[in-house]
Amino acid sequence: MSHTLTKPPGSWIFGSLLLAAFAGCAYYNTFYLAKRYYREGQRAQERSVTDAPAPDAIAKYDATIRQCAKILVDYPKSKWVDDAIYFMGAAMYGKGDYSGAIKKFEELRANTPNSPYVPDSKLTEALARLKRKEYAEAEALFFEVDKQYPSLPRRWELCFYAGECEAQLQDYPLAVSWYERADQAAKNRRERADALRRMGDALLECARFEEAQAVYAQCLKEEERGRKRLDVALSRGGVLQELKRYDEALAFYSTWRLYAVQDRRDGEFAIRIFECMGQLGRVKEALEGYQGLVEKFPHSSVAYEAQFRIGYLLESQVGDLDAAGREYEKLKNEPQSQFQSQAVRRAQNLATLKQYRQAMLADTTQAKARAAFMLAELYYFQLEKTDSALIQYRTVEREFPGSPYAPKAAFALLWIHTHDQSDTAAVAALTDSIVTRYRKTRYAESALYLWKQWSGRTDERTALFDSMLANPDTTVMRERLTEKELLEHSAALAQAKDSLAMSQKRDSLAAIPPTPRQQPAPAELARLDSLRYVTRNSARALRGLPPLPRPAQFGVSDSTASRPAPSVPDSTAFTPAPAETTRAQDAPPLPPPDSTSAPVIGPSR
């Protein structure tokens, strides 16, 4: 007798539950693997010695992206879709695909605007835009996150990298305030040390040297990483030298040199020690110390720098130009480096200096005047000896009053007093002198125009300038420049000296006495600040944020912030006289390298 097989009661319900459980388990396992791969990628990146995405980290982030993509395709209605989108974007950021990460974060906010991952997505997008050097957009996002999410757990990341963004925008006072907040939000010593180190760097850029050295000293108490501790020590020592506290700097370097031995960086500290000796007048000890480094570290960067410093010390403090030239020549056949190129340039300048001095013995007055003027130009532009240049320009004006080089020298004196020394009384006196003595030359109008541009005032000098424009002297031959060319000419001259000084700092030529920090020409400074102001506020407007203060409140030094914007005369009515100041320029300084580790991107959920 056959029996019909039938399903037990409720079996279909059990099967459905089993299938659902299996599907849910599969989904959970997929999401679990995505998060696990992401954490493994973070750990792999933390082990990397560079900030560039490590190959092991990239592999893990790729696995994260695959798992998240599977969730989005197989389970599009899941409650964890926003998790998958966020982790996919964070993984893209981790592997260096910043544009892909930005798109994913925008997708997250468009599809799930109430997701708890929205704050993290905005912050990580800001970090991605920072990496892409979209500083204005990144700045606007940082401000938005700070305003909308005051309880964000990733507070340190927000404040620290907002400070990095402002540093790239060269708004160093604002960067300092962000770093201060990062210091307050730090959860461990490493975070606190990073915030203090970068705060010190920003204070240094603001020329707030006393505050910078105090912050660096505080950072040394928090920093635990050996190499970074030595970097901070060098920075603090450099600030002490800026403050001309050479004895204190010498003792400080001597103490830290002991710690530098184990990292094989004692040569760097020894160079700074001998530099301080030279600045204290202990020239013989400094020369012997540099020579010892050349012999101890042959054919190394330390040896090349020490050899350069021997030549520079002989040139700048001993005054033995022939001996200095011979020392510079020793680097001529060494491998290309910043010290080798500097030595070659200075050796050539010293040879030219000798030629000009010989030319001053010529028979004709015109040849003597030209040689004397070119000697002053060499002092100022190539040898960066402003005091010697001032003396030489005055000599040209005094000894060759009837030559065409006398008004040129007078205008050069005026230029130096405006752009290097910011001496209002001296500038006014020099302007009056040029107008009185050289009224029939184009240098009179150039001096009055420079006064008007630089001072921003309305007085008898600017009135005379306007009168001269309204009633031009047809006997004065002029070439005509457009307003744009004039501003570019002024900016190039102002930038030339600053570029050389910054190049010396970038090349670690600390043996050279520190050059006072220069500001660009007022008109160029205002133009650059206005451009940054418009760009940054455009990005803020897109996110509904209030505009930043006008540039005079945050981007201009005190000496120019209170000064009204100078007016520019009709470019068709005035041609400034060339200052004969064709200084050779080094390449402009590079932006500071990213000295911080990549942020560990994780959700606040």
* pLDDT higher than threshold 80 for residue 289: yes
Distance from the Cα of residue 91 to its chain's centroid = 30
| 3 state SS for 534-570 | HHHHHHHHHCCCCCCCCHHHHCCCHHHHCCCCCCCCC
Would the pTM count as exceeding 0.75? no
| Neighbouring residues of 325: CB distance < 8 A, sequence distance ≥ 6 | 311, 347, 350, 351
Lowest mean pLDDT among 200-214, 293-307, 565-579: 565-579
**Residue-level pLDDT at 545:** 67
Residues constituting the chain: 605
Alpha carbon of residue 146 to chain centroid: 25
DSSP for 278-337 reads: HHTT-HHHHHHHHHHHHHHSTTSHHHHHHHHHHHHHIIIII--HHHHHHHHHTTTTSPP-
**95 neighbors 61 (Cβ within 8 angstroms):** yes
Q: What is the predicted pLDDT for the residue at 260?
A: 92
Mean pLDDT of 451-466: 83
In terms of average pLDDT, the best of 33-47, 88-102, 336-350, 529-543 is 88-102
pLDDT of residue 307: 93
Percent of the chain scored above 70 by pLDDT? Answer: 72
CATH T-level topology, domain 19-132? 1.25.40
Average pLDDT over residues 45-60: 85
Residue 561 has pLDDT above 50, yes or no: no
Weakest mean pLDDT among 94-108, 340-354, 432-446, 515-529? 515-529
The average pLDDT across 366-386 equals: 79
Sign of CA dihedral 384, 390, 393, 395: negative
Report the pLDDT value the prediction gives residue 473, as an integer from 0 to 100: 62
The pLDDT mean for the chain works out to 77
Task: Give the mean pLDDT of 325-331.
Answer: 91
Residue 598 has pLDDT above 50, yes or no: no
DSSP state of 225: -
Distance between CA atoms of residues 221 and 257, nearest Å: 17
Q: Which of 582, 524, 576 is nearest to 555 (CA)?
A: 524
In angstroms, the CA 402 to CA 418 distance is 25
Please tell me the predicted confidence (pLDDT) of residue 169: 94
Q: What percent of the chain has pLDDT over 90?
A: 39
Q: What is the mean pLDDT of residues 189-209?
A: 96
Report pLDDT for 351: 84
Averaged pLDDT, 57-64: 90
More confident residue, 484 or 128: 128
Say whether pLDDT at 513 is over 50: no
* Arithmetic mean of pLDDT, 130-150: 94
Please, are residues 260 and 230 in contact by the beta-carbon 8 Å criterion? yes
408-426, pLDDT tens digit by residue?
A: 888 888 888 887 777 788 8
CA–CA separation, 364 and 112 (whole Å): 85
Lowest mean pLDDT among 72-76, 286-290, 475-479, 508-512: 508-512
First to last CA, the chain: 65
Judged against a pLDDT cut of 90, whether residue 203 lies above it is answered with yes
Least-confidence region, from 20-34, 186-200, 263-277, 590-604? 590-604
Mean of pLDDT values over 569-590: 37
Residues 552-564 have a mean pLDDT of 34
Domain ranges of the chain: 19-132, 360-496+517-550
pLDDT of residue 2: 43
Please state the three-class secondary structure of 372-404 as a single string. Answer: HHHHHHHHHHHCCCHHHHHHHHHHHHHHCCCCC
